[in-house]
Amino acid sequence: MKPTDPLTVLPGVGPKLADTLAGLALTTVGDLLFHLPRGYEDRTRVWPLADVQPGMRVQVIARVERADVRFGRRRSLLVNLTDGTGRIGMRLFHFSKSQMRQFEPGQWLRLFGDVRPGHRGLEMPHPEYRLAASRDAAGAEVEATLTPLYPLTSGITNPRLRGLIGRALDGCLRQLDDPLGPLPASIGNLPSLIDAIKTLHRPSPDIDLTQLAAGQHPAQQRLAFEELLAHHLSLTRLKRRLADTLRAQRIRHIDGAQAALFKALGFSPTGAQTRVIGEIAADMARTTPMMRLVQGDVGSGKTVVAAAALVQAVAAGQQGAFMAPTELLAEQHTQTLRAWLEPLRIEVVLVSGRLPKAQRDAANARLASGDPLVAVGTHALFQASTQLPKLGLVVVDEQHRFGVHQRLALLEKGHAAHPHQLIMTATPIPRTLAMQAYADLDTSVIDELPPGRTPVKTVAISQARRDEVITRIAAACADNRQAYWVNTLIEESDLLDAEAAEATAERLKKDCPNLRIGLAHGRLKPAAKQAVMAAFKAGELDVLVATTVIEVGVDVPNASLMIIENAERLGLAQLHQLRGRVGRGAIESFCVLLYQPPLGKNAQARLDTLRRTNDGFEIAEKDLQLRGPGEVLGTRQTGEVGMRVANLVNDAALIEPVQMFAAELSAAEDRLHAVLGRRWLAGAEAYARA
């Protein structure tokens, strides 16, 4: 038997069971070796009944004293048992007459199950049990190692899967390819691959279960190191392949083009913006496609940086595409970019599925002409009818909201050359996560806010004090300031969100009749939504009641108060984004987190973090701890490259050693990548391209 053999070589595995196991991504015998337990049961020890307590899950050996059918709310069979040190009852709710005849007085049983209080002492409801001729015969079957519990799917049980994995361990574990060999002592005292797998499937009774539960046992760390290395090699090889095989149109820096932009804007870029603009310009001046991630906290001026890159592309005769995650943001970015770029005689074209057909056709015709311009849109940019024959630069805003295939589809529109790609995120990505998940990208960080910005003061207030919040809004507006009131619901629904926002707006109109109140939500038509936003920005409204449609992209320096209702229901990153709508000028600004008590542990941690800091990177680190990497990156972003063993939070300390180890590889890298890629990636490299 070899690790590469199909599962059907195992006795009892036919086509039907093989199909079931394929649902767990198990297709070869070797796959079974890497299907690791999710937990363990201890069947290595027999507990005296005198030591058994409610809530324990234990194995006992006892003798039947009597068995009776009991009639209460449910008919049940109660078997009274003793081992000489104490007594316990085995209660069965589903039983047959033949089972009843098994439990003659004096019959020995070996039981494993949960212990709970009963009417007349301790009970085990429906435990696993086996009959035995004597106490010694029952004890002879005690397990030598902890019993693993595996992730399952419909149609397979733990005992069946344990049997298959046991055959794989006995039949081919020693044949498993270990391309890493002994790891350097600097990484830690980690076992060999074979010893690590054996330990995790058949752990000794004295293993540190706390360490196992935390994923920090050396055996787990050995596999985590290998998996992290597989992902890192995949991404770095991809980066090299892009550099070696793909060619982009060289977009040279045109003297004066970006200077004209900032002259029209009436301000100078910050030092951080200048640095990042220079990094982007240098990338685009090469024939290797730029793959750059730009991180910047809320209000750091990422859109200005993107505009400078687009100006460089258009000045060089190329087309630029700016991709936004929602229709509303696409419309807002269109307005912003038109205000900035049209004075420079740069055309900005909106591509939206909500445009009337005639306007949509006209927009597509302009793009298909190949004239230098900027296209702004959402997924409408991916459609086959949208042609960008001279696409030189793609800007992707809020990258984690897009699926990988969507971004790849836009990149393929470059036709003759591969477009440069600039990815922006206003959700700072923790360094460890960025090092591993974006190893194929160059990273720039805008770590400086424009001058004049004031930190937002954040408070958390119970819904019971809602009237005080309304009074605070009235006072702020009386001082010629403006305020946001954001409604959130557990269920994401345009209809429900709209109803909640409408109810809030009506109450505010009733309680504050002198205030001018506007309403924006996802069910408004685009023109109506834009009109409300424009009125708020122009100071014609005092309060904007909205759903989270205003999370990103709205810039109203006079707004100094943000109310977030049901703040306990939102993640840290989204709360930080919403808070970033205020504090965009020199005015002292406040964010009020309205919550419904009692707060859960994680909700309390999120609100406490927001109150304590305005640092987006610190918030991102906390978000990573609370939600995990898949949520921070977005499930559509991670796609099929999610980790199976490694955890980017708990195993962060392994990431730098992985990169150092990879940097020292030479001739062995190709073979290493081939083995580890088959083992850990399962064809996931296509996802890494984006």
What percentage of the chain has pLDDT greater than the value 70? 88
b (16+ CB within 10 A) / e for 252-264:
ebbeebbeebbee
Average pLDDT, the chain: 84
Rounded to 10 degrees, what is the CA torsion of 545, 547, 548, 551? -30
Q: Tell me, what's the pLDDT at 317?
A: 94
Cβ–Cβ < 8 Å for 676, 176:
no
Distance in angstroms (rounded) separating the CA atoms of residues 685 and 690? 10
Given a cut of 60, is residue 522 above it in pLDDT?
yes
Q: At 376, is the pLDDT very low, low, confident or very high (cuts 50, 70, 90)?
A: very high
Distance in angstroms (rounded) separating the CA atoms of residues 502 and 274? 43
Q: What are phi and psi of 600, to 5 degrees?
A: -75, 170
Structure tokens at 141: 């079957």
- pLDDT tens for residues 634-654? 433 333 346 788 877 678 788
Q: Tell me, what's the pLDDT at 431?
A: 62
What percentage of the chain has pLDDT greater than the value 90? 43
Beta bridge partners of 82: 63, 87
Distance in angstroms (rounded) separating the CA atoms of residues 552 and 326? 10
Distance in angstroms (rounded) separating the CA atoms of residues 472 and 459? 13
Q: Tell me, what's the pLDDT at 685?
A: 45
Burial class (CB in 10 A: 0-12, 13-18, 19+), 266: exposed
Q: At 217, is the pLDDT very low, low, confident or very high (cuts 50, 70, 90)?
A: very high
- pLDDT tens for residues 226-235? 999 988 888 7
Q: Tell me, what's the pLDDT at 82?
A: 95
Distance in angstroms (rounded) separating the CA atoms of residues 217 and 464? 47
Structure tokens at 257: 């083009």
Q: Tell me, what's the pLDDT at 403?
A: 47
Q: What is the mean pLDDT of residues 370-382?
A: 88
Q: At 423, is the pLDDT very low, low, confident or very high (cuts 50, 70, 90)?
A: confident
Q: Tell me, what's the pLDDT at 103?
A: 93
Structure tokens at 398: 């809020």
Q: At 573, is the pLDDT very low, low, confident or very high (cuts 50, 70, 90)?
A: confident
Q: What is the mean pLDDT of residues 623-632?
A: 59
22-36, 269-283, 512-526, 672-686: least confidently modelled range: 672-686
Q: Tell me, what's the pLDDT at 296?
A: 82
- pLDDT tens for residues 149-193? 999 998 899 889 999 999 999 999 999 988 888 888 888 889 999
Q: What are phi and psi of 85, to 5 degrees?
A: -105, -20
Structure tokens at 87: 């007594």
Q: Which amino acid is at 103?
A: F
Q: Tell me, what's the pLDDT at 166?
A: 94
Q: Tell me, what's the pLDDT at 631?
A: 46
Structure tokens at 68: 């009776």
Identify the structural domains of the chain with CATH numbers, from first to last. Answer: 7-38+157-207 (no CATH), 49-139 (2.40.50.140), 212-452+646-690 (3.40.50.300), 457-613 (3.40.50.300)
Q: Which amino acid is at 158?
A: N
Cis before residue 289, ω within 30 degrees of 0?
A: no
Please tell me whether residue 483 adopts helix, strand or coil conformation: strand
Q: At 514, is the pLDDT very low, low, confident or very high (cuts 50, 70, 90)?
A: very high
- pLDDT tens for residues 76-91? 999 999 999 999 999 9
Q: Tell me, what's the pLDDT at 498?
A: 53
Sign of CA dihedral 545, 548, 550, 556: positive
Structure tokens at 574: 């989204």
Distance in angstroms (rounded) separating the CA atoms of residues 188 and 419? 43
Q: Tell me, what's the pLDDT at 445?
A: 87
Provide the CB-side half-sphere exposure for 7 (13 A, CA). Answer: 23
- Global pTM reads 0.66
Given a cut of 80, is residue 443 above it in pLDDT?
yes
Distance in angstroms (rounded) separating the CA atoms of residues 262 and 583? 22
For 412-564, where are the alpha helices, taking DSSP H only?
Answer: 431-437, 466-478, 494-511, 526-537
Distance in angstroms (rounded) separating the CA atoms of residues 493 and 500? 11
Structure tokens at 1: 């038997």
